[in-house]
Structure 1
Amino acid sequence: MSQPTIATGRVASPRRIAALALPALVVLAAEPLYVLVDTAVVGHLGRVPLAAVAVGGTVMTLTAWLGTVVAYGTTGRAARRFGAGDRAAAVAEGVQASWSALGVGLAVVVGMQFGGGALAGALAGGGDVAVAAAEWLRIAAFGTPGLLLAAAGNGWLRGVQDTRRPLLFVVGPNVLSAVLCPVLVYPVGLGLIGSAVANVIAQTLSGALFAAALVAERVALRPRPRIIGQQLVLSRDLLIRGVAFQASFLSATAVAARFGAATVGAHQIAVQLWFFAALVLDALAIAAQALVGAALGGGDDATARALARRIGRLGAICGTAFAVLAAAGAGVVPTWFSSDRAVHEQALVAWPWFAAMLPLAGVVFALDGVLIGAGDIRYLRNLTVAGALGGFLPAIWLAYALDLGLGGIWAGLMLFTVIRLIGLLLRLRSGAWAVTGAVRGEERLPA
C-alpha cells in the first residue's frame, strides 16, 4: 500500500510555504534576467540586430507563455496524486505532460522553418530587421522542445514538493548561456546568430535535465492519449484565461498610445513594474498550487481551506509591502526609466492606482494559485473572461471615448482586479473548489 508522502498537519506552515515559494521565485526570475543579458549583448551590435531580437523575442515569449500553462496545469494534477500517497502516478502526470510538450515544441520548430520569415515580416514590416529577425527565429526555435520539456518538468517536480532540482535545472543552463552569449556573438564572430545559438543550448540542456529526472524515476514512459487529452482540456482553459489577460493589456497599451507618446511611455513603466510584482507574487501562487493540490489529493479539505486562508493573508502582506515601496518611490522610480519630464508627470497619474492595487493583487494572485492547485480552472477561466469583458475592456475604451487619460486606463485595471478579487472570495467562501481525491472528476491514472 502507498503511504502518504506529506504530513498534512504541517502543510500550512509559513516555513513550508516559503520553502516552495523562494526557489520558485528564482526559477521565475532566471529567464527574464537572461533576456536582459541577451538584449544588452546584442544591443552593442547595432540598431538592426537589437530590433531583430525584439521582434523574434516577442514570438518566443508566446512559446514561453505556453510553457507556463503546461507547468501550472501539471503542478496541480501531480500534487493531487502526490498528496494521495501515489508518487509514481504524480510522476506519470509529468511523463504525459512531457509528451505533449515535446510534440508542441517540434511543431514550433517545423513551423518556424517554413513560416518564420512571413511572421517576422508581418511583425517588423519588412526590411533588414525582418530578414535578421527571421534568421534569428529559425535558429532560436530549435530550443522550443527543451523549453517546453523544462516547463513540464517544473510542473511535476513542484507537484511532488521537489524545489531543489528545478532550481538547478533552470538556473545552471541560464548561467551557462549568459556566459556563452557574449563569447559566441563577439570572439567567435557569430554576431546575432550567436545569441540564438546560446538560447538553444540553454533550453535544450534544461529540457534534457528534466527528461533525465523523469527517466530516473523508473516509471512507464509510453504516452497515454486519454490522460494527455485530459491535460489538454485543463491547458485549454488556462490558455483562454491567458488570452483574456493578453487582450486586456494590449488594449490598454493601444488606448494609452492614443493619448500621446508621454502617456504610453508612462503606462509602459507602470505596467512593467506591475508585471514584475506579478512575477514575484506568482512564486507564492506556485507554492499554493503544490500544497493545496497535495492536501486535497490526500483527502484533507480542512488543511486545504486553512492553506487558502493563510496564503491569501500572505498575499495581502506581500502586496502591501510592494505598495509601500511603490508609494515611497513615486517621485524617483519613473526617473530610472526615462529622463522625459512629461513621462514623469504622466507616471504620477497612474502611480496612485498602481500602488493602491498591489495589496488587492497580492490576494488575487495567491488565490489564483489556490484554485489552480484545486483544479478549479473552469471557474478561474470564466471569472477572468467576465472581468475582462465586463470590466477592464469597457472601462479602458470608455476612458478613451471620454478623454480620461492614463488615470481612466488604470481605473479600468483596478476594476478588473476588484472583480476578480470578489469572485475569488465568493468561490472560496462557497467551498465548491475544495474537492478531495487524487483527481478532480477523472479516472485514476495507472502508474
Structure 2
Amino acid sequence: MAASRGAVALAGYEVARQVWIFQAFVLDALAVAAQSFISGFLAKGNMFEARRYSSRLLQIGLWCGALLGALVWASSSSIPALFVGDPATREMVGTMLRYIAPLQPVCALVFVYDGIFIAARDFTYTAQSIFLAGVGSWIALVYAASLPATSVGAVWMGVNVLMIGRAVALGSRYLSRRGPIPPSSDDDVEELEVPEAAK
C-alpha cells in the first residue's frame, strides 16, 4: 500500500511503523503482567481478584497509551529528524505519527486484553476475534486502495481498523457475563480479605 504511493510515502510509513512497534513493545509489558497476575489468581480460584486486577491493568494501559500517544503527537515534528534528513520525508513521517498517535490508548487496551484472555485460556474466542477483525482490516485496505495517492491516512487504515475491531470484540467479551472472567457479583464481596485493623 505504502509502496504504491511513492518513495516518500514508503519511507514515511517505515519510520512511523518502527515508532508504532516500539510503542507496542512498551505497552505489551502490561500484557505480560496480566498473564502473570491473572493466571495466578485463576489458578487459586479467586475470580474476584482476577477481575479486579484485570480492570486495574486496563486502566493503567489506557493511561499509558494516552501518555505515549500524547508524547508521539507532541514530538511528531522532532522524531523524524532522528531518522531522515529529507524535508519531504520528514513531513510525511510527522503526518503519519500524528495519524497513529490518537489510537495508542486503543492499542494499549488490546494488548492488555490479550494478556487477560491468554491467562484465562480463552484462546478460541481470541482467535475468532482476530479473524473477524482481520476481515474488517482487509475490507478497509481494499477501500483505502481506491483513495487518492495523497491520502496518507489510507496507509494506516488497515492497522487502525484491525486494532479497533479487536478492542471492540475483546472488550464486549470482557464486559459480558459469558466471558472467562465475568463481572463480579455481590457474592464476590465475601472473598475480600478483612484488614487486621478492622477485625
* Residue from 154, 165, 170 that aligns with 1:408: 154
> Which TM-score applies when normalising by structure 1?
0.39
The residue identity in structure 1 corresponding to 2:30 is L
Is 1:367 aligned to residue 120 of structure 2? no
Is 1:434 aligned to residue 158 of structure 2? no
* Residue from 62, 69, 79 that aligns with 1:316: 62
Moved runs in structure 1, 4+ residues, more than 3 A? none
Q: Which residue of 2 aligns with 1:395?
A: 140
**Counterparts of 2:134 and 2:152, CA distance in 1:** 18
Q: Displacement of 1:409 after TM fit?
A: 2.1
Contact 1:353-1:411 at 8 Å conserved across structures: no
Secondary structure at the aligned position of 2:163 is classed as helix
Q: Displacement of 1:283 after TM fit?
A: 1.1
Q: Displacement of 1:348 after TM fit?
A: 2.9
Q: Which residue of 1 aligns with 2:49?
A: 303
Is 1:279 aligned to residue 25 of structure 2? yes
**Counterparts of 2:145 and 2:87, CA distance in 1:** 23
Secondary structure at the aligned position of 2:45 is classed as coil
* 1:76-126 Cα distance to aligned partner (Å, 9 max, x none): xxxxxxxxxxxxxxxxxxxxxxxxxxxxxxxxxxxxxxxxxxxxxxxxxxx
**Counterparts of 1:297 and 1:282, CA distance in 2:** 23
Q: Displacement of 1:354 after TM fit?
A: 1.0
Is 1:261 aligned to residue 7 of structure 2? yes
**Counterparts of 2:77 and 2:16, CA distance in 1:** 13
**Counterparts of 1:340 and 1:382, CA distance in 2:** 43
Bigger Rg, structure 1 or 2: 1
Q: Which residue of 1 aligns with 2:189?
A: none
Secondary structure at the aligned position of 1:258 is classed as helix
Q: Which residue of 2 aligns with 1:336?
A: 82
Q: Which residue of 1 aligns with 2:16?
A: 270
Contact 2:3-2:9 at 8 Å conserved across structures: yes
**Counterparts of 1:283 and 1:272, CA distance in 2:** 17
Q: Which residue of 2 aligns with 1:40?
A: none
Q: Which residue of 1 aligns with 2:128?
A: 382
Q: Which has the higher contact order (CA 8 A, sep 6+)?
A: 2
**Counterparts of 1:408 and 1:370, CA distance in 2:** 31
Secondary structure at the aligned position of 2:152 is classed as helix
* 1:41-96 Cα distance to aligned partner (Å, 9 max, x none): xxxxxxxxxxxxxxxxxxxxxxxxxxxxxxxxxxxxxxxxxxxxxxxxxxxxxxxx
Q: Displacement of 1:284 after TM fit?
A: 1.0
Contact 2:9-2:89 at 8 Å conserved across structures: yes
Contact 2:34-2:57 at 8 Å conserved across structures: yes
**Counterparts of 1:278 and 1:401, CA distance in 2:** 29
Q: Which residue of 1 aligns with 2:186?
A: none
Gaps of 5+ in 2: 183-199
The residue identity in structure 2 corresponding to 1:416 is L
Q: Report the identity percentage.
A: 30
> Which TM-score applies when normalising by structure 2?
0.85
Secondary structure at the aligned position of 2:53 is classed as helix
- Which aligned pairs between 1:37-436 and structure 2 lie closer than 5 A? 255-390=1-136, 392-403=137-148, 405-431=151-177, 432-434=179-181
- Number of aligned residues: 180
**Counterparts of 2:24 and 2:41, CA distance in 1:** 25
Contact 1:267-1:406 at 8 Å conserved across structures: no
Q: Which residue of 2 aligns with 1:206?
A: none
Contact 1:371-1:433 at 8 Å conserved across structures: yes
